[in-house]
Chain A
């Protein structure tokens, strides 16, 4: 049976699972909405993978904001932040890349690379302006399916300037322009440009952005945003074939390298764990003045992982 490497990226909006062959080609990919249920969505996508009769799982890595919890669920060999994971995947497919634009559902990042090494990065920290959720919301307001958003932006005849500093301003500006009689297409184009302007101003501040540029994350599907990026940086922007699942690919690659380095077999729990119930429990430990909020994951009443205890007492009790 052939070997495969798995990567799971559990984000706020989507849960992605990929399987790579030993040459890092994508042999399976699934993209699901997380819907606030990270454990369930990971299980669903693993079931999907199981039905395809996959090869032997030689390594598995977890990334995304839900990485800790899901790492425990699947028995990950590595649990890595999504910045490192994205950079790993991108430098594999584009060894020359210098600047990565990544826009996801709830966050966006800029990663600066030199000689294949991350030298700087920025991630939006207080504001969701310029992320996929914002676009989703506006698409809904204009009652346009988000899938058609990009094509419509490209069809615009005229430029409309929309304030991009804050979604609240952008929204009221949008309504104002609408009332002046601009078409939906023009407003959408203006919105795409506002989003990119906001993104570059916020995250690119104080950084020199060098080509080649790579644009990835779910929002890379949007041609309007890509065009706005190209206009803003004045150069071609590359989009990877698997732009939406680069984090998961990176996690799989990092897991493969980890297993190879340590020489130990993968800690993957196997597909049987899909039948187990994983229950997260929150405990307010009152044994000392620290009052730690401990999060514990239990299987059949037994704790298998915990976080948040400063003294390590709860962590040690896990099997």
Chain B
């Protein structure tokens, strides 16, 4: 049995942890990325590598220091640099003296044999039937987490007590962590909903609600320690939030046969071909599709997150002004990097929300109310 660990990317931690535990491995709890993680990654990665590569590398090194000897992660196809991530990480780790630590799961349709080999290492001595059972349960857990997290991102905008929703969300993650059978999971799901429903909320009329969609590169969209806690910040500013990326969407699209999962993302990708008729890497096409999707759903604005220098997202950034004009939908881009001074970005974010309020409610800029002063 291995000492297993994995990247920290939002709620995916819960899923990986469950796989590790149920297959009998020792799980090294991945540390949430901090400035220290970033510094470590920056030190050992090429300067021009994408920001997520650096954060992941830092995470891997921290985990190895904690004793992990098997790191598993999901891969990327390219054609942008993300396609090399896995190899790059492996090479850097090797040069630092860590050989054979890293397992990268690519979509099984890309390299079925590799996928099978890697799976066997994780599977260890468990039977295939048991593994199937575990994966099915984890998949269900992810679905439940996503459902609850979407609710959390909606409710945050209206909480009476600052932080009450965040605290409930931490509790929910723990509940799901502790559930190892289907009935336990379903009980956790119910308790999670009850927990959220019991919180005190400011009543807001339907037409006064603000809805913001978050799109962009998957890692910075999903891991809030790398995106200046975008979902929380927008919540504090009184906006409901929905991301373009949730783990279950990724699995439906990349790991499961589409005739079973009927992924929403396939539809989104189709919508995106209007803007990019070939795949240029990352989720550029999906993100453009998501702009259309959010617009169709009547969202009030979009926040676009990209790692500084991310090729696919730079391409979408350059067509966004025109799309924003065509759809009459405010869109703002944030390029994220190791820099930790956020004053400038927060100013832009707040002004963006002011702009949306002014446009939606037709009030003059200077009589805008803010949720809480000071």
Contact = CB atoms under 8 A, between A and B. Distances in A.
Interface of A: 65, 68, 71-72, 75-84, 87-88, 91-92, 107, 116-121, 123, 125-126, 205-207, 250, 253-254, 257-258, 261, 267, 288-291, 305, 309-313, 315-316
Contact of B365 (A75, A91, A123): A91
Contacts of A267: 373-374
B273 interface: no
Contacts of A289: 29, 31-32
A91 B366 contact: yes
Contact of A84 (B32, B308, B322, B350): B350
B100 to A, nearest CB: 28
A309 to B, nearest CB: 7
Given A81-B354, A120-B330, A312-B161, 16 more contacts: A65-B347, A77-B373, A81-B350, A83-B351, A84-B368, A87-B365, A91-B364, A117-B365, A118-B358, A118-B365, A120-B355, A123-B344, A254-B368, A310-B166, A311-B163, A312-B164
A152 to B, nearest CB: 31
A82 B369 contact: no
B367 interface: yes
Contact of A310 (B29, B163, B358): B163
Interface size class, chain B: 35 or more
Contact of A305 (B334, B359, B374): B374
Contacts of A125: 334-335, 344-345, 348
Contacts of A257: 366-367
14 contacts: A65-B343, A84-B350, A87-B365, A117-B355, A118-B355, A118-B365, A119-B359, A121-B355, A125-B335, A126-B308, A254-B368, A257-B367, A289-B31, A316-B161
Contacts of A116: 364-365
B189 to A, nearest CB: 22
Interface string B140-162: 00000000000000000000011
Contacts of B170: 288, 311
Nearest to B225: A290
B374 A79 contact: yes
Contacts of A120: 330, 355
Nearest to A61: B373
A82 B365 CA distance: 12
Q: Which one of B31, B34, B232, B345 has the highest number of Cβ atoms from chain A below 10 Å of its Cβ? A: B34
A83 to B, nearest CB: 4
A180 B366 CA distance: 51
Nearest to B232: A310
B373 A79 contact: yes
Contacts of B343: 65
A79 B372 CA distance: 9
Interface in B318-374: 321-322, 330, 334-335, 343-348, 350-351, 354-355, 358-359, 362, 364-370, 373-374
B15 to A, nearest CB: 16
Given A78-B373, A310-B163, A311-B163, A84 B354 contact: yes
Contacts of B163: 309-313, 315-316
A77 to B, nearest CB: 6
B358 A258 contact: no
Nearest to B368: A84
B32 A290 contact: yes
A116 B347 CA distance: 20
A6 to B, nearest CB: 14
Contact of B347 (A81, A118, A205, A288): A81
Contacts of A123: 344, 347-348, 351
B373 A76 contact: yes
A194 to B, nearest CB: 23
Nearest to B161: A312
